[in-house]
Structure 1
């Protein structure tokens, strides 16, 4: 069986790695010319995602991943703050949590190594369809078309493959524009290092403004103590932060701004909304070249509305089907789980236990359930943030935060 994967993000590379390891003929095509040319937050992989990944990559690759990842169990409990930096509450104890955080670049590079020569970079897909023999075909902006027994779209939120199958977009704007960046912990003042601590946290203010600060330390908090295997691009305690504002003409215009100009614009927006100066240090002292903007998109939370097409020899996975805002921290993990499930189904086809259409049908049914689960979680945080973007919501937040802050002082002193 020949499988063509369109898209070399986490889900596409994971599937390509698994197919190659199981002896399938596979080709992964991606428009990027460098697998390290990617941004975004760090990636959280829970035990389900790690278990799925073990089915796709060699044991040594898994060890290299763990040696390059930051263990949640070594972090302090997450924190929730208001716009003045006052503590409102803490998350659960993480000492028994088996989840890991890893740089997106690190994970992508490891998976690309597993795919090897079957990864074709710098190839932009222009269309998918069927040849005269009924076999799926992939067309490119340059180069000859490629035929396959199965085509899998792993081409993200704006998936060409999923749009071909669904006859239109499979997701819509979630109402938030996100801005991300990286800041070394050592570059912050002693006061902010103390307040933020070795933990992740979220601060929400009125009018839909929010700031997530994620802690990543693949060296000091390494999941596996094997420095000789480490290949993380983050080499010390670092905060990977994400600022969020509701969509508007003013906010959307910031998506065209870059580097220092974008950083300055973000600081102005937070200042205008009354955020304390020290809470913005993590933005003010960020690596300028890491600051970027992007729109939150989301698919339907209803499983029945995901992958709304008849099962066949063209399918899709990950954000191409269940585009998920980063507010759940589970999007990449779900794509990896999709890849493992599809690989297992294709194994049944290889063994003669079912047809390709039957395998894809069962895969898509499971993917709908997974997608619905993570989208429901992600949407909860989005709704919470957007709920403050009204007169009533802003007033409720202003009234409740002093009470929550006072209760937190008593509880955590």
Structure 2
């Protein structure tokens, strides 16, 4: 076994790449992250993120304890299991609530993407390099690998990890045969702030995640309400954060943001007008809101009101694509994680959790190599097998939900609603199908 310290180069500063960097840095491994964005706040962070228990375990394992505690203190409770409803708000099934008294690392959390990004960047000032866009890599005769950047610079390490998203340039060179397939669905999403004017919202919409399965189309909602106010969260964490040399006010400043109900409406592309605003267009919210409300005419009035009262500037359109299943490839010292390997439609919040799972499994593999407990290539091969198995299971689940949302068949909808109703009535069946 080699005793030379491992050097890891990570391409991409999203949640998967940064989670891996935090875990490797905490273990004393030489790691550097290269991100093409010019600065940490170069792009907006969009909706909040549901971290499921698999993602919570990864963040708990990879983050220093003081940052994990901040995450929990500034997060919200996503509610006691997802509910499945008809468009008339009739309950078909609700997933079982998690057992009481679970450690936060085994719970789900609704987190602000902005706060999560700040936490994942905390303490990595000398590790994360912004404004560096990869153009390709070169594998060297001495067993190292060199990342090549658009500005003419480069970075060399023992391992190169492509965490650079669905359009990964690392994957393009490593796996030129890998493909992503556009999906027929179109999504439209928005955020309704929770405040004095939202008292009319039914309890189902402000307490948990929900899936609505009407005779056509599909709606998903999730509430994002923090467990603690900015003041109480800051009181709990200030001393620990300052002791780590960090600014607690900066880390939790977006706790001032309004809590909200997020909704995502999904329909088949053919069912919607051909001249929908492009996802990159600015200011299409009012037109998109009118389109969604026009298709909800026979839905429960509270669901129609949810859409109608959502501020237009929070409403946007998004398209879907999914990675095609890949078989294991000959392992080298270049690998990929997250969307760079197994991108999926953002249905069910599975993609971010899959990336965090990858980061944690790869962290453990690289720590074993660095300690001389494993050889590099076999360790990376084991990681890739686990990553592909878990990642493409998530792709299948997200694609199944999207297919259910977009199939025009009334027979399929009737069967699906009957299945969820049966799961709601038979607890052993429900647990067998929906247990983590």
User: Does structure 1 conserve the Cα–Cα contact (< 8 Å) formed by 2:284 and 2:316?
Assistant: no
1:213 aligned onto 2:221: yes
Q: Which runs of 5+ in 2 are unaligned?
A: 1-5, 238-250, 426-436
Q: Deviations over 1:340-384 (max 9, x none)?
A: 211221122222233321221111111122113322332331222
Closer, same or farther: CA 341–275 of 1 in aligned 2, 3 Å: same
Q: Deviations over 1:246-288 (max 9, x none)?
A: 2348468433464542342243244146354642333333344
Q: Aligned partners of 2:234 and 2:213: how far apart in 1?
A: 38
Out of 180, 192, 198, the residue aligned to residue 201 of structure 2 is 192
Instruction: Report the CA distance between 1:336 and its aligned residue.
Output: 1.6
1:104 aligned onto 2:113: yes
Query: SS of the counterpart of 2:195?
Result: helix
Partner of 1:122: 131
Moved more, 151-160 or 229-238: 229-238
Q: Aligned partners of 1:359 and 1:173: how far apart in 2?
A: 33
Q: Aligned partners of 1:91 and 1:328: how far apart in 2?
A: 14
Partner of 2:434: none
Q: Which runs of 5+ in 1 are unaligned?
A: 409-413
Partner of 1:202: 211
TM-score (norm 1): 0.83
Query: SS of the counterpart of 2:166?
Result: coil
Query: SS of the counterpart of 1:254?
Result: coil
User: Does structure 2 conserve the Cα–Cα contact (< 8 Å) formed by 1:76 and 1:197?
Assistant: no
User: Does structure 1 conserve the Cα–Cα contact (< 8 Å) formed by 2:190 and 2:264?
Assistant: yes
User: Does structure 1 conserve the Cα–Cα contact (< 8 Å) formed by 2:76 and 2:110?
Assistant: yes
User: Does structure 1 conserve the Cα–Cα contact (< 8 Å) formed by 2:51 and 2:353?
Assistant: yes
Partner of 1:411: none
User: Does structure 1 conserve the Cα–Cα contact (< 8 Å) formed by 2:365 and 2:380?
Assistant: yes
1:231 aligned onto 2:252: yes
Out of 12, 16, 28, the residue aligned to residue 21 of structure 2 is 16
Instruction: Report the CA distance between 1:152 and its aligned residue.
Output: 0.3
Partner of 2:338: 318
Out of 284, 294, 299, the residue aligned to residue 261 of structure 1 is 284
Q: Aligned partners of 1:134 and 1:264: how far apart in 2?
A: 55
Matches within 5 A, 1:278-297: 278-297=302-321
Q: Aligned partners of 1:80 and 1:46: how far apart in 2?
A: 18
User: Does structure 1 conserve the Cα–Cα contact (< 8 Å) formed by 2:29 and 2:370?
Assistant: no
Q: Aligned partners of 1:344 and 1:28: how far apart in 2?
A: 18
User: Does structure 1 conserve the Cα–Cα contact (< 8 Å) formed by 2:279 and 2:316?
Assistant: no
Q: Aligned partners of 2:316 and 2:255: how far apart in 1?
A: 18
Q: Aligned partners of 1:316 and 1:171: how far apart in 2?
A: 15
Instruction: Report the CA distance between 1:179 and its aligned residue.
Output: 2.7
Partner of 1:29: 34
Q: Aligned partners of 1:252 and 1:317: how far apart in 2?
A: 35
Out of 262, 266, 271, the residue aligned to residue 240 of structure 1 is 262
Q: Aligned partners of 2:13 and 2:381: how far apart in 1?
A: 23
User: Does structure 2 conserve the Cα–Cα contact (< 8 Å) formed by 1:41 and 1:180?
Assistant: no
Count of equivalent residues: 394
TM-score (norm 2): 0.79
Partner of 2:187: 178
Closer, same or farther: CA 124–263 of 1 in aligned 2, 3 Å: farther
Q: Aligned partners of 2:54 and 2:198: how far apart in 1?
A: 37
Closer, same or farther: CA 104–251 of 1 in aligned 2, 3 Å: farther
